[in-house]
Amino acid sequence: MSKYRERRRGDTQQVLEEFEDWLPRERSVQEGTARVYADRVVGFLAWLPAPVEESLRTLTPATVMEWVNLAAKRGQKPSTLRKQLVMLRSFLRFCHRTGRVGQDLAGVVPNAAGWRLSSIPDPVPEGTVQELLDSLDLQAPKGLRDRAILLLLTGLGLRAGEIAALRLGDIGWRTGTIRIRGKGDRADELPLPDEVGRALEEYVLHGRGGRAGYDEVFLTMFEPVRPVAPNGIGKIVRMACARAGITEFGPHRLRHTFATGMLASGATLQEVQGLLRHAQLRTTAIYTKVDHARLTRLVPEWPAAAGGRWGR
């Protein structure tokens, strides 16, 4: 008998036995390996409140990631942690297939090799975004441009490179949508929130003016006029920080702020994954490390699109 089996809690016995039987039948796992898998998820089940079947019925991505964080903090060898996460993935898939968990949470569990506990910067403190916006002179073309850029960062979580690549034809003025050119020549169409759309409209009509020769939306303010580069987006954010008198940070931190804010307001990981255009759900799941208490209840609600009210 292994040390893990000795730690089995009474209310977890049945689910562990079913998992151990399911592995050879559904996953073609050897019986000895199945016992190891079952033994290795004992710690996860022991961590869940009793009765375990009820905890599994209400399991959320945030709860799974909270346990992953705790496991990573124990200072285990990367190989040990990797095995634990592989086994946890199999167990969560089993729970979904047997109806114990409503959604397949296996995709939430990250790969141990790329799991860094401090890899995500904190979202900016509450009120910081408004301070950045308040620092802008909206009577000047530069202020209109910078406001539109800041709102694309905070309202849609775009990357600096995606903002720099934005073309005039990518903005659906009447449909309230925006086409984003992302990594690997990927193009996605996203709903355009009303405030972001209005800011873009103000900049294009009154800030960008009739400057011809470029399809890019965002241009520099001084001669020779040229499209704003991705590093220029970072400079705009840092200059706004300096004007507002706050500690400087880069544009990607505003993307993190957008992601954690969406989760906290009730969006599911799958929905935030779509907005951030992550290829894998586990990349999005890393944002649940920021604030577990606020992310325990995730319900499906998309942010409203503009609806074309401001379009021309």
What range does the domain containing 98 cover? 3-114
262: left (phi > 0), else alpha (psi -120 to 50), else beta?
alpha
Selected catalytic residue, list 40, 145, 147, 278: 278
How many domains does the chain divide into?
2
Residues 33 and 143 in one domain: no
Residue 227 forms part of a structural domain: yes
Per-residue pLDDT of the chain in tens (312 residues, 90 and over written 9) = 333 444 567 888 899 999 999 988 887 777 777 887 788 888 899 999 999 999 999 999 888 888 988 887 776 677 778 888 888 999 999 999 999 998 888 888 877 654 444 444 467 777 888 999 999 999 999 999 999 999 998 878 788 888 999 999 999 888 888 888 766 566 777 778 889 899 999 999 888 876 667 899 999 988 788 999 888 999 999 999 999 999 888 887 887 776 666 655 565 555 555 555 554 544 445 554 444 443 333 323 333 333 333 443
How wide is the angle at C-alpha 74 spanned by C-alphas 14 and 60, nearest 5°? 50
Residue 304 forms part of a structural domain: no
Query: Is 4 a residue of the active site?
Result: no
Of residues 181, 120, 160, 148, the one with CA closest to residue 250: 160
Q: Which backbone phi and psi does 18 adopt, to 5 degrees?
A: -65, -40
Residues 308, 176 contacting (CB under 8 angstroms):
yes
Selected catalytic residue, list 89, 255, 256, 289: 255
User: Model-level pTM?
Assistant: 0.53
Residue 186 forms part of a structural domain: yes
Query: Is 278 a residue of the active site?
Result: yes
- Domain harbouring 90, CATH code: 1.10.150
Query: Is 252 a residue of the active site?
Result: yes
Selected catalytic residue, list 7, 183, 186, 206: 183
Residues 276 and 134 in one domain: yes
Query: Is 183 a residue of the active site?
Result: yes
> To which residue do tokens 């996860």 refer?
44
Selected catalytic residue, list 159, 208, 256, 277: 159
Among 81, 114, 147, which residue terminates a domain?
114
Residue 191 forms part of a structural domain: yes
Among 86, 114, 142, which residue terminates a domain?
114
Alpha-carbon gap, residue 183 to 167, rounded angstroms: 16
Residues 105 and 223 in one domain: no
Residue 27 forms part of a structural domain: yes
Residues 154 and 248 in one domain: yes
Selected catalytic residue, list 83, 252, 292, 294: 252
Residue 310 forms part of a structural domain: no
Residue 80 class from Cβ within 10 Å (0-12 exposed, 13-18 middle, 19+ buried)? middle
Query: Is 37 a residue of the active site?
Result: no
